[in-house]
Amino acid sequence: MEGLLTLWHDTGIYHFEWKQLVMMAVGAVLLYLAIVRKFEPLLLLPIGFGAILANIPNAGLNDEGGLLYYVYHIGIDSGVFPLLIFMGVGAMTDFGALIANPKMLFLGAAAQFGIFATLFGAIALNVIPGFEFTLQDASAIAIIGGADGPTAIFLASKLAPHLLGAIAVAAYSYMALVPLIQPPIMKALTTKEERAIKMEQLRPVSKREKILFPLLVLGACIMLLPAATPLVGMFCLGNLMRESGVVDRLSHAAQSEIINAVTIFLGLAVGSKLSAEYFLTLETLGILVLGAVAFAIGTGSGVIMAKIMSRMSGGKINPLLGAAGVSAVPMAARVVNKVGLEANPQNFLLMHAMGPNVAGVLGSAVAAGVLLALVG
C-alpha cells in the first residue's frame, strides 16, 4: 500500500496545478494555430510544444540540468540563436528592390515609429495598479512593433528576460496575423484611387551593387550605431554570402540546415519561458495589448509616410507600400500586393513592396540597437 501511495505521489496528476494546465492549454492553442491555421508554423509549433514541456510537473526540463534550461541559456541568454536566424534571413534576402529604389528606406524607417510610440505607452501603463514596467521592460515590449521575431527575442533576452515568453508569443502571433491586421488600416488611410496607383518597373541592379550594399550597410552601422552591429552584422554576412556567388555551399547551409536547426531550438527555448509563474500575470495581458497597438501604429505611420512621398512625387508612389515597412518578410509585401490588386487588377506591387520590407528588417535592427544603447 505504501508503495502504491509513493507511486501516486510521483504521478503528474497528483502534482498538477491549475496554472500549469492553463499554460498547457495555451501551448495547445499555439499548436492549433500552427498546424490547422498554418500561422507561422515554423515557430509557433516548437514554441507551443515547448510550453507544454515547460509545464510538466516534476519533469525538471526547466530546472538546472534540464534540456530546456540549457537550450535557453546557451541559445537565448547568450543571444546566439537570434543572431544565427538573422544570418539565415540575410542569406535569403534580395536587396535588389531596395537598391533600385533607395527612397524606400524612408518607409522602413517610418514604420518603426510604432516602436517608440509604444515605449511611452508601456511606461504610461504604470499608472494602472498591477503594472510595474521598468524602462528596460518597456523597451523590450516596444520592439514588438517592428514585427521582427528574432529582433524581439534578442532585445528581450538582453533587457527583460522575465518577459521573453510573452514578448516572443506576441511578436510571432502578430506577424502571423499580418493578413488580418494590416488591410483594414491600409484601406482606412488611403483612397481607392491611391491604392490603384501603378508604379514604373524597377531598374536592373548589377551584381557589384548587390555585393557592395551589405558592406556599406555594415560600415554605416559600425560608424553610427555599434550597438546594432550584432544583428545587422550577421544579416549582412548572410546576404554577402548569397550575393558574392563564391560560397554557395555556405549560403545554402545558412538558408536551410543552420536556420532550420536553430529555429527548432529557438522555439523550444521561447516555449520554456511560457511557464505559469512567468506568463499568467496582468503584465502579460498588457504586453499583448501593447504589441497590437505597436504593430498598428507601425503600419499606419508607414502608410502615412508613403502618402507624403506620393504627394511629393506627383502620384508616382503607391501609399500602400508604406505598410510593407514593417519587418514581416515577405508576408507584409504580399499583403500590399493583394490589396493593390483588389483596387486595380493590373497593379502588381510585390517587387516594389520588397524594398520597404527589407528596409524594415534593417530598421527594426537599428531601433533595437538604439534602445540597447540607451537603456541596456
What integer pLDDT is reported at residue 11 of this predicted model? 60
Q: Read off the C-alpha cell for 217.
A: 550597410
Half-sphere exposure of 89 (CA within 13 A, CB side): 26
Instruction: Determine the Cα–Cα distance for residues 183 and 337; give it in Å rounded to an integer.
Output: 11
Residue 166 lies in a domain: yes
Greatest CA span in the chain, whole angstroms?
Answer: 86
**Torsion on CA atoms 111, 117, 122, 127, rounded to nearest 10:** -160
Residue 315 lies in a domain: yes
Residue 3 lies in a domain: no
- DSSP designation for 66: S
Residue 345 lies in a domain: yes
Residue 8 lies in a domain: no
Residue 219 lies in a domain: yes
What integer pLDDT is reported at residue 289 of this predicted model? 86
CA distance to 66, 133, 206, 336, 352, per residue, from 100 (Å) = 50, 42, 10, 19, 9
- pTM for the model stands at 0.88
Positions of the chain with pLDDT lower than 50, given as ranges: none
Full residue range of the structural domain in which residue 200 is found: 14-375
Residue 125 lies in a domain: yes
What is the domain count for the chain?
A: 1
Residue 284 lies in a domain: yes
Instruction: Determine the Cα–Cα distance for residues 126 and 262; give it in Å rounded to an integer.
Output: 36
